[in-house]
Amino acid sequence: MTFLQAMLLAVLQGVSELFPVSSLGHTVLLPALFGWRIDRSDPTFLAFVVALHLGTALALLVFYRADWARIAGGLTRSVVRGRISEDPDERLGWLLVAGTIPLALVGVFLEEPVKRLFGSATLVAGFLILNAFVMFSGERLKRAKSGDIALGALPYPSGVGVGFSQALALLPGISRSGSSIVTGLLVGLDHEDAARFSFLLATPAIGAASVLEIPRLFAPAAHGVLIESLVGGVVAAVTAYASVTFLTRYFRTNDLRPFGWYCLVFGSVCLVLALTKVIA
């Protein structure tokens, strides 16, 4: 992987991680389309990808810094008090805790099997197409429901369900934000609150995964991508901040269907190319 390729992947990560189009899927498919000689199943490549995720998590932390300050205060107050009140910040904090635990448990048990999928463009393209139908189905079911509930009133089991849906993003081609926003819609949130909850959940989810993987970058075999990972993380953070700024405004009046059509078309093209051995 050249330095230029690494920076292009960093920009791609910052844009596509929060857009519901699967950053991991694009990180696999675009190098294949461009003919880059990158071993996508190599552990150091996965560590590089996670370093980009860390930059994304830092961008989210900065963007939602006021929210996180209130959430941290609410969690502290509830712990000191020994019970959870109806304060919105306390409830949101514990919803985030409840939503983060399922992904952490699934990640521990499925990390190694999922890594094997990173080398197959055919599988990734197929998952990207599936990602499109997840969003189409979610929007159709949402339109059939009446009324919305506020994020602060979301039941804890529903928060766990939204958190668990993030585990689908362990499959490259399935979007973490897309699956969690769809689940948020299905449990009664509107698009704006579903997106906000998804982005808040992303911070501990992406940050924890990054902390687990970053030490691999300092192994002797990984020294060749250390600089690319550090600079790439900064580039990913800048582009991710721009992405979340746009998306928080977009979901006030728009839905997931345009992203679904993009995933369907791009995934179908890549699947045909993979099946005909044009890309691998």
Question: Is the pLDDT at 101 greater than 70, yes or no?
Answer: yes
What per-residue confidence (pLDDT) applies to 109? 64
Q: Is residue 183 part of a domain?
A: yes
d(CA 32, CA 190): 37
Point out the least confidently predicted range of 108-117, 182-191, 233-242. 108-117
In a domain, residue 19? The reply is yes
- Give the list of residues 6+ apart from residue 170 with CB closer than 8 angstroms, or none: 106, 107, 110, 111, 114
Least confident range of 33-42, 194-203, 243-252: 33-42
pLDDT at 80 over 70: yes
Q: Between 268 and 116, where is the model more confident?
A: 268
pLDDT, residue 246, reads 97
Confidence of residue 230 (pLDDT cuts 50, 70, 90): confident
pLDDT tops 70 at residue 3: yes
Domain total of the chain: 1
pLDDT at 23: 83
- What domain range is 171 assigned to? 3-275
Q: Is residue 107 over pLDDT 80?
A: no
Q: Is residue 280 part of a domain?
A: no
146: left (phi over 0), alpha (psi -120 to 50) or beta: beta
Please give the C-alpha separations between residue 123 and each of 32, 129, 238, in angstroms, as whole numbers. Answer: 13, 10, 30
Continuous segment of H or E residues that includes residue 215: none
Q: For residue 252, what are its two tokens? A: 């006030």
Range 191-194, long-range pairs (CB < 8 A, 24+ positions): 191/251, 191/252, 191/254, 191/255, 191/256, 192/248, 192/251, 192/252, 193/148, 193/150, 193/151, 194/251
Higher-scoring residue by pLDDT: 86, 188:
188
Q: What is the predicted pLDDT for the residue at 130?
A: 96
Residue 3 φ/ψ, nearest 5 degrees: -65, -40
pLDDT at 105: 72
> Could you give the residue ranges of the DSSP H alpha helices within the chain?
3-16, 23-34, 43-63, 65-81, 88-115, 121-144, 156-165, 176-186, 191-213, 226-250, 257-275
Average pLDDT (91-115) is 75
- Give the residue among 214, 264, 277, 193 at the shortest CA–CA distance from 54: 214
Mean of pLDDT values over 186-198: 94
Whole-angstrom CA distances from 201 to 60, 103, 233, 242 are 10, 10, 20, 18
pTM: 0.89
185 phi and psi, to 5 degrees? -65, -40
The verdict on residue 242 lying in a domain is yes
Query: Which pLDDT score, from 0 to 100, does residue 108 have?
Result: 62
**Is 153 inside a domain boundary?**
yes
How much is the pLDDT for 187? 93
Domain assignment present for 147:
yes
Residues 51/218, Cβ–Cβ less than 8 Å:
no
